[in-house]
Amino acid sequence: MSIGHTLLGLLETGPRHGYDLKRAFDEKFGHDKPLHYGQVYSTMSRLLKNGLVEVDGIEAGEGPERKRYAITDAGVTDVVQWLATPEKPEPYLQSTLYTKVVLALLTGRDAHDVMDVQRAEHLRLMRSLTERKRKGDFADQLICDHALFHLEADLRWLELATARLGKLAKEVNG
């Protein structure tokens, strides 16, 4: 996820302080990985330097001065271009799980054990996401569906690879 573009998009709804940007980001996108304040302020500094945001006001407070940021026309253009650019699909051609299976076969270990442990972890996470989806709002349901569909694809691969372990073992150890 592009944190800079996400913060710019949030600023399109109106000027905000760094604290408000962090809170909005965490509420909408950071359920599993909230932003650190340092990440917000370093990103805002970079966006300011690149002319994508401007300081809309400075307020004195009990602590340090609070800058209110606003998106510039260049920032809006940047967000529009980012939204129109498709994300590169991840082909997973360098899968850590595949590497573990091949190494288990190469070293004489039971690759079925590797697959079983991974399958159990996928199912555990799927149960957790299904519960989160059941209790969540619509946005939470959509993000959980996205993750669940990827996990289902991984499980299909695990089943296929498990069925082909004998052939893979012959090829790897050939």
**Residue numbers of the chain with a pLDDT score lower than 50:** none
Q: What is the pLDDT of residue 127?
A: 97
DSSP character string of the chain:
--HHHHHHHHHTT--EEHHHHHHHHHHHT-SSSPPPHHHHHHHHHHHHHTTSEEEEEEE--SSS-EEEEEE-HHHHHHHHHHHHSPPPP---TT-HHHHHHHHHHHTT--HHHHHHHHHHHHHHHHHHHHHHHHHS-HHHHHHHHHHHHHHHHHHHHHHHHHHTHHHHHHHHH-
> Residue 69's Cα: distance from chain center in Å?
25
Q: What is the pLDDT of residue 1?
A: 66
CB 40, CB 117: distance < 8 Å? no
**AA identity, residue 99:** T
Q: What is the pLDDT of residue 173?
A: 86
Q: What is the pTM of this model?
A: 0.72
